[in-house]
Amino acid sequence: MFSPCWSRLSCVALSSRGGLRTLSLFSSSGSSNWSKVVSDAEKIVGYPTSFMSLRCLLSDELSNVAMHLRKLVGTQHPLLNTARGFVYDSKNNLQMRGLVVLLLSKAAGPSHAASDLLAQDMVSGIYPSQRNLAEITELIHTAFLVHRGIVNLKEWTDSDGPLKDMQFGNKMAVLSGDFLLANACTGLAQLNNTKVVELISSAIGDLVQGVYYENSHNTEENGLTDGIDVAAWEEQTFLSHGALLAKSCQAAMELAKHDKESQRLAYKYGKHLSLGHKLNSDLQPFMKSRVGEPLSFSLSAAPVVFHRQIMGRETWHHQLQQAKTLRNQLDYSKLLAAVKSEKGVSTAMDLCCYHGNKALEAIQAFPSSEARSALENIASAVTKF
């Protein structure tokens, strides 16, 4: 484990370096800061990435699904929430991955090795193949959001609504997810680079394993088994949240035939940024509370996982029991207080800073540019709460 003091100090130091914002580390203006960082970044890459490949969305197949989705309105099927997320802009759906891939492509500059990649093909400093890769990354990410929304029919209860609706929702979720993945596969083939196909396909495999772990944690909520330690958490979270971006960043470098070192740095940036971002996201409920918002958080959120590991199985189980109401529902505010009173939150925050720094370290090895600054800002922004 790393030293908490060291990383926190270095975080503060970074934020006062010239050229970056001098906001305090845990400012409450986190979300507006984030939006500004992203919209500045979008300008640099030439057009907003806040829509997925229109070609895909407007296809007959997905239009068909959209039509069928109307039947799900009023049911509890998760697919409806996933679909809503695309229509209403929210922090999770800013197409971050695609944006990062585009920025990195630009930051790395023109190719020195490939004879078939011409400077005149670049738009806003990015090759068409790299743009396509960014789109493909988003397609894969979305496909898995959709596939995550499938429900196990055997666990269905009356309160979920009619079984028929759940079955129908599943069907739509499987089909649309598959459609997106299939488009990703054909898109990958069109990049004319078998190394990239292999790399991104392996990322899909990683995603599957990551989601598999996610599911097994979500189903085990009574606190009776051993928790996982930080290293295991990082490994599993990398699979479900980091591998795709890390490997896409590397692939973007490969497409422009940049050297092994650039590929390694790009991978490193993608990996640490994703982990930092996930930690930030997990920490939100544990930061200064927002009045009026209903409180709830996942028991697989990093602060909770670390807290559990620190407390040990028995104490954790006891705390869970204490936090249950007479009707065996979980009183989240009680559990929140329990977690906040120990070191789980601070461990998560330190880890977040650590990863943010690692990402910064990686990107600063690239030559100075607008795109690089945007990536630095993004890395810094994930360490702000």
Partner 1 sequence: MAGPWWRKCPRLTTGCTATNILENLWHLKGRPVSFSASLLSRASCIPTPETRFQHKYLHIFLSRHQSRLLLPTLQSCCCRATHSDTKPKDPFTLAQKDLTSLYDDIKKELFVSKVELKSLCEYYFDGKGKAIRPMIVVLMARALNIHSNRAGDLLPGQRAIAMISEMIHTASLVHDDVIDGSDKRRGKRTINEVWGEKKAILAGDFILSAASMALARIGNITVVKVLSQVIEDLVRGEFMQLGSKENENERFKHYLEKTFKKTASLIANSCKAVSILVNSDPEVHEIAYQYGKNVGIAFQLVDDVLDFTSGASQLGKPTAADLKLGLATGPVLFACQQFPELHAMIMRRFASKGDVDRAWQYVLQSNGVQQTNYLAQHYCKEAIRQISRLRPSPERDALIRLTEMVLTRDK
Q: Is 32 helix (H, G, I), strand (E, B) or coil?
A: helix
For residues 188 and 136, the answer to whether their CB atoms sit within 8 Å is yes
Can residue 182 be called a binding residue for partner 1 (CB under 8 A)? yes
Stretch that binds partner 1, among 9-17, 209-217, 329-337, 370-378 (CB under 8 A): 209-217
Q: Look up residue 183 and give its two tokens.
A: 């488009």
For residues 28 and 110, the answer to whether their CB atoms sit within 8 Å is no
Near partner 1 in 6-65, by CB under 8 A: 60-61, 64
Stretch that binds partner 1, among 13-21, 112-120, 199-207, 268-276 (CB under 8 A): 199-207
Going residue by residue from 96 to 135, which x/- string records binding to partner 1, judged by CB under 8 A?
A: ----------------------------------------
- HEC profile of 189-258: HHCCCHHHHHHHHHHHHHHHHHHHHHHHHHHCCCCCCCCCCHHHHHHHHHHHHHHHHHHHHHHHHHHCCC
- Residue 201: burial class (beta carbons within 10 Å; 0-12, 13-18, 19+): middle
Of the two residues 163 and 224, which places its CB atom closer to partner 1 in the complex?
163
Q: Look up residue 103 and give its two tokens.
A: 């920025």
Q: Is 382 helix (H, G, I), strand (E, B) or coil?
A: coil
Of the two residues 206 and 350, which places its CB atom closer to partner 1 in the complex?
206
Of the two residues 12 and 182, which places its CB atom closer to partner 1 in the complex?
182
- What minimum distance in Å lies between the beta carbon of 129 and partner 1? 13
Can residue 229 be called a binding residue for partner 1 (CB under 8 A)? no
Can residue 367 be called a binding residue for partner 1 (CB under 8 A)? no
Measure CA 324 to chain center.
31
Contacts of 186 (CB under 8 A, 6+ apart): none
For residues 179 and 66, the answer to whether their CB atoms sit within 8 Å is no
Residue in 183, 163, 172 with CA at minimum distance from that of residue 63: 172
In this structure, the number of other CB atoms found within 10 A of the CB of residue 23 comes to 16
Near partner 1 in 60-99, by CB under 8 A: 60-61, 64, 68
CA distances from 216 to 221, 227, 292 (A): 10, 12, 32
User: What sign has the CA pseudo-torsion 88, 274, 226, 285?
Assistant: negative
Of the two residues 144 and 316, which places its CB atom closer to partner 1 in the complex?
144
DSSP letter for 330, please. Answer: B
120, 108, 184, 167: CA torsion to nearest 10: -140
Stretch that binds partner 1, among 126-134, 180-188, 256-264, 295-303 (CB under 8 A): 180-188
- What minimum distance in Å lies between the beta carbon of 149 and partner 1? 9
- What minimum distance in Å lies between the beta carbon of 87 and partner 1? 22
Of the two residues 59 and 369, which places its CB atom closer to partner 1 in the complex?
59
Of the two residues 23 and 197, which places its CB atom closer to partner 1 in the complex?
197
- What minimum distance in Å lies between the beta carbon of 67 and partner 1? 10
Of the two residues 68 and 313, which places its CB atom closer to partner 1 in the complex?
68
Distance, CA of 274 to CA of 174 (rounded, Å)? 26
Can residue 299 be called a binding residue for partner 1 (CB under 8 A)? no
Of the two residues 199 and 374, which places its CB atom closer to partner 1 in the complex?
199
Can residue 194 be called a binding residue for partner 1 (CB under 8 A)? yes
Of 20, 25, 211, 299, the one binding partner 1 by CB under 8 A: 211
- What minimum distance in Å lies between the beta carbon of 182 and partner 1? 4
Can residue 198 be called a binding residue for partner 1 (CB under 8 A)? yes
Of 103, 145, 188, 339, the one binding partner 1 by CB under 8 A: 188
Of 57, 114, 118, 153, the one binding partner 1 by CB under 8 A: 153
Residue in 113, 108, 136, 110 with CA at minimum distance from that of residue 121: 110
Can residue 225 be called a binding residue for partner 1 (CB under 8 A)? no
CA distances from 11 to 150, 284, 375, 380 (A): 40, 18, 16, 9
- What minimum distance in Å lies between the beta carbon of 255 and partner 1? 13
Interface residues with partner 1 (CB under 8 A) are: 60-61, 64, 68, 147, 150-155, 167, 170-171, 174-175, 177-179, 181-183, 185-186, 188-190, 192-195, 197-198, 201-202, 204-205, 207-209, 211-213, 215
